[in-house]
Structure formats: structure tokens, C-alpha cells
A and B are shown apart, each in its own frame.
Chain A
Amino acid sequence: DTAVSQTPKYLVTQMGNDKSIKCEQNLGHDTMYWYKQDSKKFLKIMFSYNNKELIINETVPNRFSPKSPDKAHLNLHINSLELGDSAVYFCASSQGNRVRETQYFGPGTRLLVL
């Protein structure tokens, strides 16, 4: 069974479109995250939710809107896609904010904006 799953794995779309990426975890974790990994391979946190509550919102354009319908799901909706949004988006989860907490990552969604 996949612990953290994301759909779709690949997403190719035109500039200006709106798209969503879905994430689900079956680990019973309380905390979920979205990360962006750009072409230079730098992994940067975008958002974090704990028990459906937004707890981290990094400097991200407001075209990006996360939604957590329940503890096991964290979706990412992106409006008016731009070329610079092309990247790999990783979802992750962890039990909580205890010391030595491990994050489990999904396989990533490769987004290409043309």
C-alpha cells in the first residue's frame, strides 16, 4: 500500500490554466505538507496543515490555494498558471511536531507549464 500518494504524476498544461493536484496519506498522520522542487533541485516548503488547520504559509503567490477536506487529504489548486510554476510538487506527511519526526513524501507531481 502506498503511504503517501499524489495524482496526477505528470501534468502538462498551458499558461493561464487552472489545475489541481491531489494528495492522500494512509498513515494516520496529523500533519501534511506541500513542497516545491525547482529546476535547481531546491526543495522549499509551501504550506503545512495540522489536523486540517493551516499552520505554515510561506511566501507563495495567492494563486496557490491548499485545501484539506480531512486529515488524510491535502490538495493544491493553482490558478492562472505561469511558466515559473513548472517544477516538481511533493506532498508529505508526518505524525506531528515531535522531535525526530520523520516526513514521508509522495512520489511527486511533475508540472510543466507551456
Chain B
Amino acid sequence: RKEVEQDPGPFNVPEGATVAFNCTYSNSASQSFFWYRQDCRKEPKLLMSVYSSGNEDGRFTAQLNRASQYISLLIRDSKLSDSATYLCVVNPSGTYKYIFGTGTRLKVLA
């Protein structure tokens, strides 16, 4: 089993739609979780950290399910500018090693 797994997509959704991605991780001791966004030919940038209680930032909501070892990202009212690859990142406790998923590609269509 891969350490961090994501559905590569692409997810093609119309503008205004709600879309959700999941990411599973194998190390149950993992403490830190993040969603990064990567645009084509650009560097990854932090979208949001994922907290145990879940967190929301505008149209974006991140959730953590420790029992099932997955994190999720929900995007409401999708915009064309949301088109990108969304990378799930896990940092096992006590290490400097950030483990990236392969990313989920989102295309928001006009």
C-alpha cells in the first residue's frame, strides 16, 4: 500500500459545482496533514492545513478522519481558477519527511 494515495482524476466539473477529493494515508501515527495546490508548470503552494476538528477557509473545507485514515477536501461553488492539481501531504510525526500524494487533477469547465 502506498504511503499516501489519491485518485489522479481528472475531475471535470462545471462552474458552481461542489467537488470533493479524498486522500488515504497508511501511517496511523501521522500527525500533520495538508492540502497543497499546484498549477501547471508551477511550484506547489499551501492551500490549507488539515486539523483534527476540520477547518474551513472560504469555499474550501478540509476534514480529517483518523479512524479510516483519510483526509478530504471539499470545494464549493467551483471557479474556473480552481482548475489545478491538488496534492495531499502527510508528515509522519517526528520526521522531516513530507510525503506527497500523486495529486488529483481538477478541471472546472465554463
Contact = CB atoms under 8 A, between A and B. Distances in A.
B96 A50 contact: yes
Interface string A77-114: 00000000000001000000101111111111000000
Contacts of A33: 96, 98
A31 B44 contact: no
B98 to A, nearest CB: 6
Contacts of B103: 41, 43
A36 to B, nearest CB: 11
B43 interface: yes
B45 to A, nearest CB: 7
Given A48-B96, A56-B96, A99 B43 contact: no
A50 B91 CA distance: 16
B23 to A, nearest CB: 14
B97 A105 contact: no
A35 B97 CA distance: 11
Given A101-B32, A106-B43, 15 more contacts: A35-B100, A41-B102, A42-B102, A44-B100, A50-B96, A90-B44, A97-B91, A97-B95, A97-B96, A103-B89, A103-B98, A104-B46, A105-B43, A108-B42, A108-B43
A40 B102 CA distance: 8
A12 interface: no
A105 B85 contact: no
Given A41-B102, A44-B100, A50-B96, A103 B46 contact: yes
A45 interface: yes
